[in-house]
Amino acid sequence: MSTEKSAAVAEPASASTKPSTLNEPTPSFIKLAMRNMVKKGGKSLYHFFLSFVGLLGLFIGLAYLTR
């Protein structure tokens, strides 16, 4: 019984759920990033808006200092 369990653990989970497709192209970086954003949900939006506010503050601060 333990040998069956160790053999199942050694096999990757993706290989058992999806047949190998050699002709399928690898997904692009943008596609993987978008999939990751959808998976993380609100956390990605929070970081996006935090970055937006930070850059906006930086640009306004630089405009004020260099006027």
37 and 44 in contact (C-beta within 8 Å)? yes
pLDDT at 65: 96
pLDDT at 12: 52
pLDDT at 58: 98
What CA–CA distance (Å, rounded) separates 40 from 36?
A: 6
- Please list the ranges in the chain whose pLDDT falls under 50: 8
